[in-house]
Structure 1
Amino acid sequence: MAMNLHDQVAAAFAQDGWLSRAEPHFRPRAGQTAMAMAVAQTIEVGGVLVVEAGTGVGKTFSYLVPSLLSGKRVVISTATKALQDQLYLRDLPRLVQALGLPLRIARLKGRSSYLCLHRLGQVHQSKVALDPQVLRAVARVQDWSHGTRTGDLGELPGLAESSTVAALVTSTKDNCVGSSCAHWEQCHVNTARAQALEADICVVNHHLFFADMEVRDSGVAQLLPTAGVVVIDEAHQLNETGIQFAGWVLGTRQLQSFIKDALADVTLHARGLADWMQLLGQLEQAINEWRAVGGSSPPGTRLRWLGAAPETLSEAAWRRGLHGVGHALRALLMALAQVAETAHAVIPLYERGARLLSQLASFAQPVPDDAVRWLEVQRQHLRLMESPLSIARLMREHMGQVQEGEALPDPQKAWIFTSATLGDDEDLRWFTETCGLRNAQVLKVESPFDYQHQAVLYVPEDFPEPAQQAAHSAAVAQLAGDGAQALGGRTLVLTTTLKALDAIGSQLQQRFGMFEPIDVLVQGQGPKHALMERFRAGVVNGRGCVLVASSTFWEGVDIPGDALQLVVIDKLPFPPPDDPLVEARSRQLEVVGRSPFGDYMLPEAAMALKQGAGRLIRRETDHGILVVADTRLRTKGYGKRLVQALPPMRRIGTVAAWQAALQALETGEAAANPGCGDGGERGAASQDGA
């Protein structure tokens, strides 16, 4: 008799099941098995499961094993391309091989990740003289292009995604020439999409998940309807990513580049068919007049926009400027529409202009209730921004039919959302509310680590107040430097602001200089992956390492073992109150009688703190100290709630206890964990896969 999914998964995770036979270091863990069983049940009956799985649970196996055994098509979305590659290149092949199932795996990234052969060919025909360094890099791409099967630029070491070269040799939706392209048959984007649609398991990332949904570009939008299981890993990043895509951004820079491309296109394909110079000139003039309306504010200003115009600007002048651009753009579009019959090549240009016009029109309407709008004034440009306050509505649309505002997911489909941090209450409301998952089943799986013995939380009793910025940063640098000196490096300092990053980074670099055997790395002074590689390597040529970093290093950074033993967090990571999104969310809560601080600021800080603290203990054999250099954790009433969000570490507060904890780490006393040597550490590593 064929086993049902529940029994198959139970057998896989058992003491002598096939996982322990296939994975030399596997050993059953109650939390991992519990999560796997819950995932299996959701896959069998359909519905939504939200799982917070503490560090070390091994959540990757918990969702992969039931998904692979289910026989359904699976789409997995994770936060970054690096995590995507890890799943595709490491975790999935191992499990598929162990299972002996003939499953096809694919990975799909956004357009900007793939080489465009048409654009590569155009580089050398460019009228603009290119920098010799850029040309050398293009030549490297050219060499690589002959041998690559995927066209994924991630295969090329040392090519940064944000580099000018990447932009030259990849396509966007706007500049892709479509099926008229000479390389259409060998197009890497098309090949990747075709493979994704044929695969049993496809790995995507959150950016692509939302980008494709919004523009209905072929890719994820075609994939989702055919999937029986959708897994969203690192789900705590979903709301932030979704908001970027569900929002509108319209800038005068976009309009200017449209004018530039339009001039090139009509000169080539529709010369003399209309008075293009006059039409483009009128649009350019309208943009300049509109830009002048917002131009009086200093660059970098963000103006609140609650009424018809952004605050401090004349309503009449603003409306005149916006309508002027609209009229000029419409006149250009009408001319393009008339010539499109004979000059087909201008159709993509017309469509792009029509998208810009409809965005412009949406900014002429009042601000929707569930959104926030603001204007960013830059040196030469204006950026109009609108963002929803949460992705609840967007997710409900993606997940199936919506009735009376409630999501009713396709009953046959299973949606699994998981991360190490999804809330600091039993219902995980921080996550479920922002994603509109009111009726989801919720499961919390505790970390298997023994935090009482593995980690110490130090909140200094006597320390400058965070409000005294300069004194506070200096004290943090002093404390982190003392710790690093005692441990020979092994220290990660996480700051909440760029100002603190600069102050603490420069003070530590002065302290350790050339003559101390410690390298001080500061975020921004090198590519993230290079900083991470150096930090992970630990002691190199007798030199230890300190890394000072801000926002992007608070999560997703995995440094197991002795390379990291001290994490110093400078301040409680509350959201910046002057950020337009933060302000608007606070206002929205006040309107319905809820507390912006208690219901929004505090949970946000708790989640960020939990993420930062999660960098310290990654394996059963890790030991370390977490310092939160913010006395509010002791003195304020809300401190207790924030401490409860952290793993249950032993707490200390005196300088003497701090020095004793450092000494214990230094002499390896704290690491005296009998019978759990190197093999145990590696075992946990190979199994976690998260």
Structure 2
Amino acid sequence: MSPLQEAVAATFASDGTLACTADGFRPRDGQTQLALAIARTIDQGGELVAEAATGVGKTFAYLVPALLSGERVLLSTATKALQDQLFTRDLPQLAAALGVPVRMALLKGRASYLCKHRLGFADAALGSHELAQRVALAKVAQWAQATRTGDLGEIPGLDERSPVIPLVTSTRENCLGAECPQFRGCHVNQARREAMAADVVVINHHLFFADLAVRESGMAELLPTVRVVVFDEAHQLNETGVQFLGRHLATGQLLDFSRDLLAAGIQHARGLADWMVLAGNVERAARDLRMAAGPAKTSQRYRWALQQPDGVDGAAWALALTSLGHALATAQRALANVAESAPDLARLNERAADLGERAVRFAAPAEPGVVRWLDVAAGLRLIESPLDIAETVQTKLLAQPNVQPDVRPGVQAGAQPGTHSPRRAWVFVSATLGADARLSWFTGPCGLEGAEVMQIASPFDYAHQAALYVPPEMARPADAHHSVEVAALAGDIAAHLGGRTMVLTTTLRALRTIGDALAARFAGRTGPEVLVQGALPKRVLMERFRAGADDALGRGCVLVGSATFWEGVDMPGDALQCVVIDKLPFPPPGDPLVEARCQQLEAQGRSAFADYSVPAAAVALKQGAGRLIRRETDAGLLVICDTRLTSMGYGRRLLAALPPMRRLRGQDELMQALDQLNEQRTGVGAAAQSD
């Protein structure tokens, strides 16, 4: 073993540092195995892809060797919630336990930081009738006087969906850079300076790929000096990457530009152009473009293989894009005449040119090798992207030169803190990365076929802690009555358990149907409280769900969620005892990106269903099932309301991807399992009271 590996092994030993300092720590063979593999990768450089099932303890498994290595480390997560947890809790506690003095920094995207300059004229952008937004803006203004970081996540009660946030934050398009009158005290620049001086920097996948696309977030200077890069929740890398590596044009961008054009024009160049008309023309063109796409009750993606998207009138679409280009060009000519009079106007001139170029691009046919589609909801997004991030990973990440000399303040030029290979170490970890030994669902699209791959099973005793039930008489998934039957079964289970039930749906339509049916069944205070995604922010719903488990009346809650609730939900103990999944989570066949990937596989002579749809469903199914058992003492029931799991040949592949739970064969066994969960919970509660 190398010195680093020896230190890592000692840390995770039964009498090691963690056993003496970390509450509840117990040695786990899988965790130690993963930590040693990461230490070896840090020693040698190269790429490691590791699937570590729930309960392995992957966070400490990568943090310990990263901190003990003495190298400069970049940690990237999929969510800001985990980013905050790493920075505020895990890293400081572990660094203190290990006795490792490290400088740590948290770096988020622009939309997370207050822009002092934009705050100054945010009030003018609000209408007199928008009272709730004015109250929120006043709260932001008061907080702004005391904050050091400018991170809007510090403000209690500020909804991340609040329309005030775009008014008080900057974007790459509207940031004035060094010309900004608030440049010296800019929170974004302060965060970047702290990141450049830190030993460990915590970022998120969105920020990482945004920088690869536009080289604007500060990563261009940071990454070359980093020797160890860890991507946690790596299963989201490909989908996150394709969002940023392509091009897009959104009506929201256009409306923001129109609003800023009017405000800045009147403030800095009143009388030199008719800013109200110019801004109105851009706004009208944006709304006409949205109208040309047709109505959409919910968010929809339209294929776009020809000159215009499928189902869209070609003449109306072409006219709307032409009108938009004309409105932007007219605005740019007016801005060019006054651009030197104020930084705001100069930046608006650049934005007008950029938006105009995008409009021209989307009016022309798409280039080969990309997929283009239209995302239609209340607004409109025109998008084109690569099918995956493989080429980018190979050419922009793995092909990067060795680590450059460290030029941070206080670090001698040319010195490297570690004694390892100059090759950069790339570590990709997640609880779910594939359904085969090579984890090809992840490694293929991410260009990591040559990486070292390892899979570590969960230490949980699933055969005793959990059971799987597939209702044998359930309607077929395509049947209109399927969601109604799912709601009926979920309602029976929730009533039996006193809530403690989460229903995960594969579509928003099913979410609404099941949510409405459960709400009607438990109207009043006759049963569990029904919580439905979208009614409140996700964080609030989860807090309410946890609180419901301790309800003095024993009502509890049943939570119905889709999309984001399939992962990132951690409810250990008896707060959550049953997870109900409505259908097998196959990729939506009508999605243009899914369709293009399937066509690519078919063109290669491969089976799109066997090589793409089934592995993708297996990964998503593992994610959903992973919400159930979070600790060694948890117990629960997984219900999958899709008979294809037992009747179709591919069902065996999907069952094999799930944890090895015991199978329930009928209604009687289901009721017995529910009774056992109630007895166990009551017994644990009674024991706790007696203690």
Same fold (TM over 0.5): yes
TM-superposed CA distance for 1:652, in Å, is 1.9
Output the CA distance in 2 between the equivalents of 1:325 and 1:270: 23
Closer, same or farther in 2 for the Cα pair 1:522/1:143, shift >3 Å?
same
What is the count of residue pairs matched by the alignment?
Answer: 664
TM-superposed CA distance for 1:260, in Å, is 4.3
Encode CA deviations 1:117-156: one digit per residue, 9 max, x unaligned: 2223323455842633322222222332232221211111
Structure 2 counterpart of 1:508: 518
Alignment of 1:561-580 (within 5 A): 561-580=573-592
Closer, same or farther in 2 for the Cα pair 1:402/1:229, shift >3 Å?
closer
Kept in 2: contact 1:665–1:671 (CA 8 A): no
Structure 2 counterpart of 1:385: 383
Structure 2 counterpart of 1:668: 680
Counterpart residue type for residue 435 of structure 1: C
Which range is displaced more, 143-152 or 283-292?
283-292
Output the CA distance in 2 between the equivalents of 1:226 and 1:76: 14
TM-superposed CA distance for 1:267, in Å, is 4.5
Q: For 2:14, what is the secondary structure of its paired residue?
A: coil
Closer, same or farther in 2 for the Cα pair 1:41/1:513, shift >3 Å?
same
Closer, same or farther in 2 for the Cα pair 1:286/1:518, shift >3 Å?
closer
Q: For 2:133, what is the secondary structure of its paired residue?
A: helix
Output the CA distance in 2 between the equivalents of 1:285 and 1:136: 29
Q: For 1:51, what is the secondary structure of its paired residue?
A: strand
TM-superposed CA distance for 1:550, in Å, is 1.3
Kept in 2: contact 1:623–1:671 (CA 8 A): no
Q: For 2:121, what is the secondary structure of its paired residue?
A: helix
Kept in 2: contact 1:305–1:374 (CA 8 A): yes
TM-superposed CA distance for 1:262, in Å, is 3.1
Kept in 1: contact 2:530–2:557 (CA 8 A): yes
Closer, same or farther in 2 for the Cα pair 1:607/1:541, shift >3 Å?
same
TM-superposed CA distance for 1:178, in Å, is 2.9
Alignment of 1:606-621 (within 5 A): 606-621=618-633
> Which of 485, 490, 500 does residue 490 from structure 1 map onto?
500
Which range is displaced more, 608-617 or 659-668?
659-668
Alignment of 1:576-587 (within 5 A): 576-587=588-599
Output the CA distance in 1 between the equivalents of 2:428 and 2:328: 43
Closer, same or farther in 2 for the Cα pair 1:520/1:411, shift >3 Å?
same
Is 1:250 the counterpart of 2:249? The answer is yes
Which range is displaced more, 363-372 or 628-637?
363-372
Q: For 1:203, what is the secondary structure of its paired residue?
A: strand
Structure 2 counterpart of 1:596: 608
Output the CA distance in 1 between the equivalents of 2:215 and 2:471: 52
TM-superposed CA distance for 1:249, in Å, is 2.0
Is 1:449 the counterpart of 2:460? The answer is yes
Encode CA deviations 1:149-189: one digit per residue, 9 max, x unaligned: 21211111110111122223222233333334343222222
Output the CA distance in 1 between the equivalents of 2:631 and 2:62: 20
Encode CA deviations 1:578-614: one digit per residue, 9 max, x unaligned: 1111111111211111111111111111111110000
Which range is displaced more, 510-519 or 220-229?
510-519
Q: For 2:161, what is the secondary structure of its paired residue?
A: coil
Structure 2 counterpart of 1:152: 151
TM-superposed CA distance for 1:525, in Å, is 2.0
Counterpart residue type for residue 627 of structure 2: R
Structure 1 counterpart of 2:404: none
Q: For 1:549, what is the secondary structure of its paired residue?
A: strand
Output the CA distance in 2 between the equivalents of 1:341 and 1:462: 72
> Which of 416, 430, 445 does residue 427 from structure 2 map onto?
416
Q: For 1:76, what is the secondary structure of its paired residue?
A: strand
Closer, same or farther in 2 for the Cα pair 1:203/1:332, shift >3 Å?
same
Closer, same or farther in 2 for the Cα pair 1:304/1:23, shift >3 Å?
closer
Q: For 1:462, what is the secondary structure of its paired residue?
A: coil
Q: For 2:120, what is the secondary structure of its paired residue?
A: helix
Output the CA distance in 2 between the equivalents of 1:425 and 1:496: 23
Kept in 2: contact 1:159–1:166 (CA 8 A): no
Alignment of 1:514-663 (within 5 A): 514-537=524-547, 538-542=549-553, 543-663=555-675
TM-superposed CA distance for 1:285, in Å, is 7.9
Output the CA distance in 1 between the equivalents of 2:132 and 2:278: 38
Segments of structure 1 that go 5 or more residues without pairing to the other structure are 404-409, 679-690
Structure 2 counterpart of 1:475: 485
Encode CA deviations 1:653-683: one digit per residue, 9 max, x unaligned: 21111112122222229999xxxx98xxxxx
Output the CA distance in 1 between the equivalents of 2:343 and 2:37: 54
Which range is displaced more, 146-155 or 190-199?
146-155
Structure 2 counterpart of 1:70: 69
Alignment of 1:87-166 (within 5 A): 87-124=86-123, 128-129=127-128, 131-166=130-165
Counterpart residue type for residue 677 of structure 2: L
TM-superposed CA distance for 1:24, in Å, is 3.9
Closer, same or farther in 2 for the Cα pair 1:632/1:182, shift >3 Å?
same
TM-superposed CA distance for 1:64, in Å, is 0.3
Counterpart residue type for residue 211 of structure 2: D
TM-superposed CA distance for 1:207, in Å, is 1.5
Output the CA distance in 2 between the equivalents of 1:239 and 1:260: 34
Kept in 2: contact 1:76–1:203 (CA 8 A): yes
Closer, same or farther in 2 for the Cα pair 1:85/1:260, shift >3 Å?
closer
Kept in 2: contact 1:105–1:201 (CA 8 A): yes
Kept in 2: contact 1:664–1:670 (CA 8 A): no
Is 1:433 the counterpart of 2:433? The answer is no
Which range is displaced more, 628-637 or 496-505?
496-505
Encode CA deviations 1:476-513: one digit per residue, 9 max, x unaligned: 12222222222222111111122222222222222233
* Percent of pairs with identical residues: 56
Closer, same or farther in 2 for the Cα pair 1:277/1:668, shift >3 Å?
closer
Closer, same or farther in 2 for the Cα pair 1:474/1:19, shift >3 Å?
same
Segments of structure 2 that go 5 or more residues without pairing to the other structure are 402-420
TM-superposed CA distance for 1:202, in Å, is 0.8
Kept in 1: contact 2:119–2:168 (CA 8 A): yes
Counterpart residue type for residue 567 of structure 2: E
Q: For 1:434, what is the secondary structure of its paired residue?
A: coil
TM-superposed CA distance for 1:442, in Å, is 0.5
Q: TM-score, normalised by structure 1?
A: 0.89
Encode CA deviations 1:54-94: one digit per residue, 9 max, x unaligned: 00000001100000011111110111111111111111011
Counterpart residue type for residue 82 of structure 1: A
Structure 2 counterpart of 1:81: 80
Kept in 1: contact 2:133–2:164 (CA 8 A): yes
Counterpart residue type for residue 475 of structure 2: P
Output the CA distance in 1 between the equivalents of 2:643 and 2:281: 59
Q: For 1:484, what is the secondary structure of its paired residue?
A: helix
Counterpart residue type for residue 149 of structure 1: R
TM-superposed CA distance for 1:548, in Å, is 1.5
TM-superposed CA distance for 1:280, in Å, is 6.9
Output the CA distance in 1 between the equivalents of 2:632 and 2:172: 47
Output the CA distance in 2 between the equivalents of 1:505 and 1:176: 42
Output the CA distance in 1 between the equivalents of 2:579 and 2:282: 54
